Structure 1
Amino acid sequence: MLPLLVLVASATALVAADPTPIVLWHGMGDTCCSVGSMGSLMNSIKKEIPGVYMYSVELGSNTLQDREKGFLANMNDEIEGICKKIAADPKLAGGFNAIGLSQGGQFLRAVAQRCPNPPMKNLVTLGGQHQGVYGFPHCAGDTPLCDEIRSLLDEGAYIDWIQNTIVQAQYFHDSDDEELYRTKSIFIAEINNELKQNDAYKENLSKLEQLILVKFTEDSMIVPRDSSWFGFYAEKDIDTIVPFNETKLYTEDRIGLRTLDQSGRLQFYTMEGDHLQIDMKVFNQILDKYFK
C-alpha cells in the first residue's frame, strides 16, 4: 500500500495537470480571432475545457493579411511558416490537439504529415476538403476579390502562376482530368500522395491518436460534400461518389487512412445544416471524448 503522502502528491499532480493545448486554423474569408466566429468558438471551447491554451493560426502579421492570405498565397510556404511558429511555442512543446475549419482542415492535416514535432495528437476537421473541390467554394456575399478569383480559375486552375497564387486552386480537383490534377496540383494532390509516395506523410499521419472528420449534411460550399470524409467523384462521372474506403487513397493506404481506420482511430461525424453551421452539442461531445 502506498504511503498517504505519495497518494496525496499523485492526486495533486493529476488535478494540477494542464489540459492538452489546441491549435486552430480558420476557414476561407475568416481570421484567427474574429469576435463573431473564431473568437466565439474559442470562448465556447474554454467553457468546455477550462484553462486550455489555444493558438489560433494567423497568416501574415495583421487581420487584413490573415484574411487575404486565405485567398492569395502559396499554402506550402504558409504551412512551412506555421510549422515553425508551432515548433517555437514552448506551450505546444509537449504536443497538441488541432481543430481545422473548412480549408483549415486540410492545412492542419498537412501540418500533421509534414511537421511531426511537436506531435499533433488528435485532429478534428469541420467541413474540410480532403479530396479537394470540383469548383470554387462560394464566398459569403459578393466581393470583387471572389469575383476575380472565380475569373482566374475559369482561365485554368492548373496554370502554374495560378496554382502558386490562388489558394483555392491549390485544392481544386478536376475529376474529368485526373492526370492533369495529379501532375499540376501543388498542394492537395501532393499531400494525398497522388503523384509519388512520400512515406513520411503516411508514417506521420498514422501517429495520430484520432482523426475525426465532420461532414455537414447540406453543405453547399464543398462540391462534393463527401470530400469532408475523403470521398470524391468517380473519374469522369460526377453522378457517382466513390466513398472513402473505395478510393485508391484508402485501398493503397497512401497516407495512412486505412491504417487509422483498421486500428479504430478514424472517426466520422455529421452535423445537420450548411457549411460550418456547427452543432455545439455534437462539437462538445467530440471535445469531451477526444480532447479531455
Structure 2
Amino acid sequence: MGFVTVDPLPDPTAEFEAQRGRLFGIAYRMLGSAAEAEDAVQDAYLRWHAAEREHIDAPGAWLAKVLTNLCLNRLTSARVRREEYVGPWLPEPVRTDTGVLGPLETAEQRDAVSMAMLVMLERLSPPERAVVVLRDAFGYSHREIADVLDWSEANSRQTHRRARLRLASGRPRFEAPAAVRSDLLARFLAAAAEGALDELEALLAGDVVAWSDGGGKVTASTRPVFGRDKVARFLMGLVARFSSGMEFGFAEVNGDAALLGWEGGALTTAAVVEVGAEGIAGVRMVRNPEKLKFLEEQCRELSRNA
C-alpha cells in the first residue's frame, strides 16, 4: 500500500514576516499614523494565525485584503477623532532613509509618502484612499484592487480616476535635488539660530505655509501661518522660545529633509521642510509627543546599530 506525502505548510510566522514590510507600508499610507499602522498589521497577523491557511492559495493577496479592510474600519473612526483634533492635524513623521516604507528611489515614490500627500489624502473617502494607495504606491492592477475591495474592476477604475482628480487640485510637488534640500535646511537653521530675519525670509517662497501640530498637548499654533513675512517671524519666535537647551539634527523624514529637535534626550520637534521652485514652500512641524514616539525609536535604533 502506497502512502501520499503531504508537504507541510510553511511556518506561519515566517510567512507573515516576509509580508510585514509591505503591509506596514500600505497601512501607514492609508492611516497616516505609524502607531495605528503597527496595530493594524498586528491585527492582520492575529487573523492570519487563526485562519485555515491550507485554503489560502495566495497569502500575499489574502493579507493585503485583510489589512486593507482593517484600515478602512480604522479610517472611519479616525475621521471623527480628527474633526475634534486641536489645531492642524499632521501625519506621524517617519524616517524614510531606513527602508521601512519600501524603496523611495523615484520622485513619485517619495511623493507618495510626503507629508503634503498624506494630508491631501485626507480629502478622500476611505475607499478612495485605499484605491490610490494600492494603485499608485504599490502598483496593484485594478483587477487586484477589485479583489481586495470586493468590487468590480470598472468600479476600481472609476474610483481611482475620481480620487486623482480631487488630489490634482492640490499644490504640485517640486522635486529638488537632495543636496539642495539639505543646503536649504542648514541655511534655514543657521538664519533662525542667529536671528537673521532677512536671511530667513530670503529662503522662503512668497506663498510659504507653516503648520504646527501640538495636538493640544504642547505649545503650537492652532492655525496655519501664511506668507513669507509672517512665517519667518513665526519660525523665529519658535526658535527663540524653544532653542535653549535643544540639540538639532537632520534626517530624511517622509521623503523630505527634516530638522529634529531634542531636549533632555527626548525628541520634541520634527520640522519637515518642503522645497519649492522659489525656496522653502512649506514647513510641517510635529510637536505632539504621541506622534513622535515612532520616529524617536527609529533614531535610537539607528544610533544603536551605528
What TM-score do you get using the length of structure 1 for normalisation? 0.28
The higher-RCO structure (CA 8 Å, 6+ apart) is: 2
Larger radius of gyration: 2
Query: Which structure shows the bigger proportion of residues in helix conformation?
Result: 2
What TM-score do you get using the length of structure 2 for normalisation? 0.27
